[in-house]
């Protein structure tokens, strides 16, 4: 029991990489959602849609990459399949849409 505690304690202090990744991901989402909200508040619906679609494509690309990096972990695949079979199919087939550059026109 003490051994398990010690391993867990060391991992929580030494393996902070996942927390940095999660923090960066949360910050990126925070900025993107803020941009979308700003466009919506200014009634720039087309620009909000462009940002939202761009984020969706980017997230699907990240999902596909991470599925591969897990070696197609069956529990991860089942988790995604239960929630969005189409996204799983696209990710596994490498059919993620290419991220298109966009410009906004909202004043």
User: What is the per-residue pLDDT across 69-80, written as a single tens digit (0 to 9) for each?
Assistant: 999 999 999 999
Q: CA separation (Å) from 60 to 5, 80, 106?
A: 37, 12, 27
Domain assignment present for 60: yes
* Nearest C-alpha neighbor of 44 from the set 55, 36, 52: 36
Domain assignment present for 34: yes
Query: Which pTM does this prediction carry?
Result: 0.68
Domain assignment present for 76: yes
Number of domain units in the chain: 1
Domain assignment present for 101: no
Tokens 């030494």 — which residue?
14
Q: pLDDT tens, 43-71?
A: 999 999 988 988 888 888 888 988 999 99
Range of the domain at 31: 2-93
Domain assignment present for 107: no
Q: At what angle do helices 45-69 and 74-83 cross, to 10 degrees?
A: 150
Domain assignment present for 103: no
Number of neighbouring beta carbons within 10 Å of residue 35? 16
């Amino acid at each position: 029991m003490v051994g398990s505690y010690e391993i867990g304690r060391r991992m929580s202090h030494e393996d902070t990489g996942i927390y940095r990744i999660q923090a960066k991901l949360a910050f990126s989402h925070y900025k993107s959602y803020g941009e979308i909200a700003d466009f919506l508040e200014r009634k720039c619906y087309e620009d909000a849609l462009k940002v939202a679609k761009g984020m969706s494509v980017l997230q699907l690309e990240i999902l596909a990459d991470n599925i591969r990096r897990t070696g197609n972990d069956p529990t991860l695949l089942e988790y995604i399949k239960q929630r969005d079979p189409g996204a799983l199919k696209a990710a596994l087939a490498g059919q993620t849409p290419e991220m298109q550059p966009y410009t906004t026109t909202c004043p």
